[in-house]
Structure 1
Amino acid sequence: MNRRNFLLGSTFGAAAFSSPALFWSTATGAEPEPMEHGGSGRVREADVERIRQTVVMFRKLDRAQGGGDLRDTVVNHLNGVARTKLSGSYGDDVGRGLFRAVAELTELVGWLSFDSGRHALAQRYHIQALRLAQAADDRAYGAYVMANMACQAVYLGHGWEAVQLARAAQQGARGSLTHRGQALVLAMEARGHAALSDERACVEALSAAERSLDAADGDDDPAWCQYFDKAELIHEFAHCHRDLRLPRATQEFANEAIGLRTDGYTRRCAQDTTFMAAAHLEEGDLDQACAKASEALDIASRLNSSQCNDFLREFRTRLHPHEREPVVREFSERAEELYAGMAV
């Protein structure tokens, strides 16, 4: 990786995803290039497995704590792995596995950068992860990287680009996705449709995701998609219906997702609770809106997540027309106390 060129640029641009995504999804089915490399220090399969297990551990911490405090630790680990292992000595099989593992670590840094609000940097890590997945000839993981590109695009208001990225991910995967992986990618396509207020296309994508997840047995799922369970899919239903401004359905799906959650998914619980608060506000129920928002504050205060903070900031902005109401004043005072010194 050319670090100097990689770090150039300071702003997110949805169009920057287009070229690498198009190249990846339309590349010919030629035989992958050999991965042998001669360098200092022998890299073994056990070294590659340690990277994979480290990524699994970091992902669990991210879901429970948010990306803000974790990002720098993972960046340092990536820099050490990229510098020492990729420049080492390995044969074709180990080399391909090494590139897959480093692709996962790179994508994770991109995700953590996204959850830290560093969107331009997150974009560049995602693009680099896609290139590493391509070099490793792992088309399924490349589709996952593109799904996360789509997630970021939606978050920043680029619904059309998100739909195209999710569709390119499915095309480029060429049947290599498991049912669970396919469900994950379809859910990101649904988010894009919701951001564009296309309810019909959104429901179609969500229904297809549900069918795919129902067909999943988990036996052949790679580690990166094993988290995508029924609770995660219902969260996507809630997210999409929030963007479609359908408050009753948003409340039902968000409540169901919270009920299905196991321990360790703190960020998702904070998001779903905030979605419920926003839905109550959409219906004009200030008491329930502020009560749920207070619950979300309690959960989010245990995290360092720009995503959660942004959702709560948006909710507080929508409260402004009601700022003289006692329940709103009470909630706002509590929020300011909990987030003293934070931009929420």
Structure 2
Amino acid sequence: MTSSKVTSSQPMPTRPPRPNLVFRELRGQRSPAEFAAAVRRAAREIGERVSCDARYVGRVEAGEIRCPNYAYERVFLHMFPGRALTDLGFAPRASVRGRRAQVPGEAHGGHEPYETQDPQNTHDPFGHHEIHALHETYEESDVLRRAFMTGGGATMAAASMGQMGLAFDAAAADRPARRPGTSDVCAVEEAVRRIRLLDDRHGADGLYRRASTPLRAAYALLDAGATRQATADRLHSGAGELAISVGWLAHDSGRFDDARSHYAEALATARMTGDDGLEAHAFCNTAFLARDAGRPREAVRAAQAAQRVGRPLGSARLMSLLALREAGGWAGLADRTGCEQALVRAQTLYERGRSDADPEWMSFYGEAELEGLEAQCWSTLGDWTRAARHARRAAQLQDPHFTRNIALYTAELADDLARGGRPDEAAAAGMRVLDLLDQVQSSRIQTMLAGTARVLLPHRRASGVSGFLERHSSLPRTA
């Protein structure tokens, strides 16, 4: 029997999802990751912005997403002209509108749950379409709707994270006796995606402190304990991934001790639950942190540990990235042979292509990142010419969506050019980074630029160098 009082925070009765076989047939021979990339390309063709990845494609095909939001609808209809949503295997929108269980006699409101009151509102700084891209189904937790319906650019990103944290806190405080369910798991998983999206576009500074709030709430949900084992497993995995995401924000903003603590927390969670994928991810980030913190031998060992636990997962791309983490450690130890061997292994594994086994968190890892990480290795080894070549290629290859990475690779290029005796080119690259700093807030990038400026000081008479130095000196200093 259902209660006579139904609130918006109560989920609808669950029913087994019906797989979307039509959508699976439309994907054809492409892997979920390859199809997701095609969806993102199609979105850009019509001016939409969606954060489609292999997991989203899997959820559609499994029937978990019965009807896409409006942004995805426009993209899918662009990809398959002449078809309606129902021709793509989706349910009619009217049949899934809202997620409230209806009280007899109660009518739906006038707006979709994730529709803004004014669809043409040009004052929304985060962008109407981007809001929809963060809500992949009408059947998600109300926590997400409250948390993510506001936001903004580089300045508003931090405020958006703050609202997300408050929503999580409120959810945990209001329901201390209730066991966590699927909606709570979805909220944790969406928080991970949200952090990654904001970091890709704006960098870590300003996000870290606010991101720790949903992390505390996620671990409070773990303490409450889920009734179903499947829910508990997803919650542990989601909380671990959230710890890694928050750890990365600490890492990128120069808070290495905090990052180390978050990565260790994720590693402990992975080992308690036997989650090899989470453990490999935690070791991967630990290796990266150790390299940046000046502990190259620890970086090598952590990367090797990640490869041991990650090998059975069957993802060549994961093993490629882990080989690059190892290469970075060998470079820090000035072991050129060890570094080169790891780089060759990384390239060989990368060329095997994507697969269904690739983890969702690896969506950032493409050819641009491969080039960028190799540039860092050669830079550490002092081969400035080779480092600059790879850094330039990384910046050219990077998807415009990843604003932070474009700034990072260009900053790497500027530094390599400066140290390689090409001050005019270095200044030009540095200027391009400065142009991006109104969108990107990353202590890592600012530290790299400061190093480049010091190297260029003796060359201030070279073309463009004085202009770069003057503009750089006027930057507000981060705390």
TM-score between both structures, scaled by the size of structure 2: 0.60
Letter of the 1:156 counterpart: A
**Residue 325 (structure 1) shift:** 5.7
1:340 partner SS: coil
**Residue 109 (structure 1) shift:** 0.9
For residue 103 of structure 1, the aligned residue among 226, 234, 240 is 240
* 1:340 lines up with 2:476 in the alignment: yes
* 1:60 lines up with 2:209 in the alignment: no
Letter of the 1:340 counterpart: P
Aligned alpha-carbon RMSD (Å): 2.0
For residue 86 of structure 1, the aligned residue among 223, 239, 243 is 223
Matches within 5 A, 1:247-286: 247-286=384-423
**Residue 204 (structure 1) shift:** 1.2
2:224 partner SS: coil
Aligned to 1:171: 308
* 1:330 lines up with 2:467 in the alignment: yes
On the 8 A contact 1:180/1:226 being kept in 2, the answer is no
**Residue 72 (structure 1) shift:** 2.3
Where relative contact order (Cα < 8 A, 6+ residues apart) is larger, the structure is 1
Aligned to 2:299: 162
**Residue 172 (structure 1) shift:** 3.1
Structure 2 unaligned residues grouped into runs of 5+: 1-175
TM-score between both structures, scaled by the size of structure 1: 0.82
Higher Rg: 2
* 1:287 lines up with 2:427 in the alignment: no
1:175 partner SS: helix
1:166-223 C-alpha deviation (Å, 9 max, x unpaired): 0112123352251111111111111111122222211211111122222233322221
Cα 1:68–1:106 shift into 2, 3 Å: same
On the 8 A contact 1:250/1:279 being kept in 2, the answer is yes
Q: Percent identity?
A: 29
**Residue 120 (structure 1) shift:** 0.9
**Residue 235 (structure 1) shift:** 1.2
Letter of the 1:265 counterpart: F
**Residue 87 (structure 1) shift:** 1.2
Letter of the 1:99 counterpart: H
* 1:117 lines up with 2:248 in the alignment: no
Aligned-partner Cα distance in 2 for 1:326–1:250: 22
Aligned to 1:218: 355
On the 8 A contact 1:144/1:181 being kept in 2, the answer is no
Compare the two structures and name the one with the higher helix fraction: 1
On the 8 A contact 2:300/2:326 being kept in 1, the answer is yes
On the 8 A contact 2:284/2:306 being kept in 1, the answer is yes
1:36-79 C-alpha deviation (Å, 9 max, x unpaired): xxx83132234323321221121011111111121122211111
Aligned to 2:177: 40
Letter of the 1:84 counterpart: L
Aligned-partner Cα distance in 2 for 1:277–1:81: 40
Letter of the 1:115 counterpart: D
For residue 369 of structure 2, the aligned residue among 198, 223, 232 is 232
* 1:141 lines up with 2:273 in the alignment: no
1:8-55 C-alpha deviation (Å, 9 max, x unpaired): xxxxxxxxxxxxxxxxxxxxxxxxxxxxxxx83132234323321221
**Residue 327 (structure 1) shift:** 4.2
Aligned-partner Cα distance in 2 for 1:177–1:112: 28
Which region of structure 1 is more displaced relative to structure 2, 96-105 or 171-180? Answer: 171-180
**Residue 322 (structure 1) shift:** 3.4
On the 8 A contact 1:42/1:88 being kept in 2, the answer is yes
On the 8 A contact 1:139/1:174 being kept in 2, the answer is no
For residue 327 of structure 2, the aligned residue among 190, 204, 222 is 190
Aligned to 1:33: none
Aligned-partner Cα distance in 2 for 1:122–1:332: 32
Aligned to 1:70: 207
Aligned to 1:12: none
Letter of the 1:198 counterpart: D
2:370 partner SS: helix
Letter of the 2:472 counterpart: A
1:226 partner SS: helix
Aligned to 1:202: 339
For residue 439 of structure 2, the aligned residue among 295, 302, 319 is 302
Letter of the 1:249 counterpart: R
2:249 partner SS: helix
1:216 partner SS: coil
**What is the aligned length?**
304
Cα 1:273–1:160 shift into 2, 3 Å: same
Aligned-partner Cα distance in 2 for 1:108–1:218: 23
**Residue 307 (structure 1) shift:** 0.9
Aligned-partner Cα distance in 1 for 2:363–2:454: 36
Aligned to 2:449: 312
Letter of the 1:71 counterpart: Y
Letter of the 1:120 counterpart: D
Aligned-partner Cα distance in 2 for 1:138–1:89: 17
**Residue 102 (structure 1) shift:** 0.3
Aligned-partner Cα distance in 2 for 1:195–1:239: 10
2:177 partner SS: coil
1:295 partner SS: helix
On the 8 A contact 2:179/2:224 being kept in 1, the answer is no
1:108-155 C-alpha deviation (Å, 9 max, x unpaired): 111111112111111111101110111221112211111111111111
